[in-house]
């Protein structure tokens, strides 16, 4: 039976509860549902004028993406997961545009008859999404001088090395 894969790349928000309900709707063969949600943290950026001691709260996260490739990269990762594990449904949502602290950024949901398959596939999709899907984060804050400051988030080598275990 083909795995039901649904991918969305969107500016709008999403409701993880509604996504769970959709993953479960008329799905009596899969007893296991694993989900991951990534949210904007209330992080800080260094004020470039004043140094690290003058950190400012980030008011907005700007998410840039590569339209077209973003969708196809996520679909490719989902298909790879569907080949590796016995899954029923895969749902991936990734937002772009301006996001505020607490906002949902990404959702990955997988269903399976087997708990370990659903959890492993969910972790696998997140790991590959982090290093292979064309999205870029920029933190935007306001300094003491009232000026807007922004900086691109640096890729972490731990994300690349996370792929080695799969």
Partner 1 sequence: MIKVLFFASLREQLGCDAVDVAADQLGSVAELRSSLATKGEAWHVALSNEQLQVAVNQELCDMQAAISDGDEVAFFPPVTGG
Chain contacts with partner 1 (rule: CB under 8 A): 38, 63-66, 68-69, 72-73, 94, 105-106, 115, 126, 129-138, 152-155, 160
Q: Which 115-134 positions form the footprint of its own copies (CB under 8 A)?
A: 115-116, 118-120, 122-123, 126, 130
Nearest residue to 91 (alpha-carbon basis) of 157, 14, 156:
14
**Residues 117, 81: Cα–Cα separation, whole Å:** 10
Q: Which does 142 bind (CB under 5 to 8 A by kind): partner 1, its own copies, none?
A: none
According to CB under 8 A, which one of 7, 40, 81, 82 is a site residue for its own copies?
Answer: 40
Counting beta carbons within 10 angstroms of the beta carbon of residue 142, is it exposed (0 to 12), middle (13 to 18) or buried (19 or more)?
A: middle
Is position 46 an interface residue for its own copies (rule: CB under 8 A)?
no
Which of 10, 13, 29, 136 binds its own copies (CB under 8 A)? It is 29
Nearest alpha-carbon partner for 31 in 157, 163, 119, 126:
119
In sequence order, what are the residues at sequence separation of 6 or more whose Cβ sits closer than 8 angstroms to the Cβ of residue 32? 111, 112, 113, 114, 115, 117, 118, 119
Residues within the interface to its own copies (CB under 8 A): 15-18, 20-21, 24, 27-42, 101-102, 113, 115-116, 118-120, 122-123, 126, 130, 162
């Amino acid at each position: 039976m083909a795995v039901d894969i649904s991918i969305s790349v969107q500016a709008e928000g999403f409701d993880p509860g509604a996504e769970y309900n959709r993953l479960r709707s008329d799905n009596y063969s899969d007893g296991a549902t694993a989900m991951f949600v990534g949210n904007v943290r209330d992080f800080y950026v260094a004020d470039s004028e004043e140094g690290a001691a003058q950190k400012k709260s980030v008011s907005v996260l700007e998410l840039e993406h590569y339209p077209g490739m973003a969708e196809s990269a996520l679909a490719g990762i989902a298909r790879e997961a569907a080949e590796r594990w016995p899954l029923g449904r895969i749902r991936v949502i990734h937002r772009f545009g301006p996001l505020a602290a607490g906002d949902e950024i990404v959702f990955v949901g997988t269903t399976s008859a087997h708990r370990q398959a659903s959890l492993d596939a969910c972790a696998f999709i997140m790991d590959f999404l982090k290093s292979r899907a064309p999205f870029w984060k920029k933190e935007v804050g306001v300094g003491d001088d009232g000026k807007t400051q922004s900086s691109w988030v640096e890729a972490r080598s731990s994300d690349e090395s996370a792929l080695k275990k799969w």
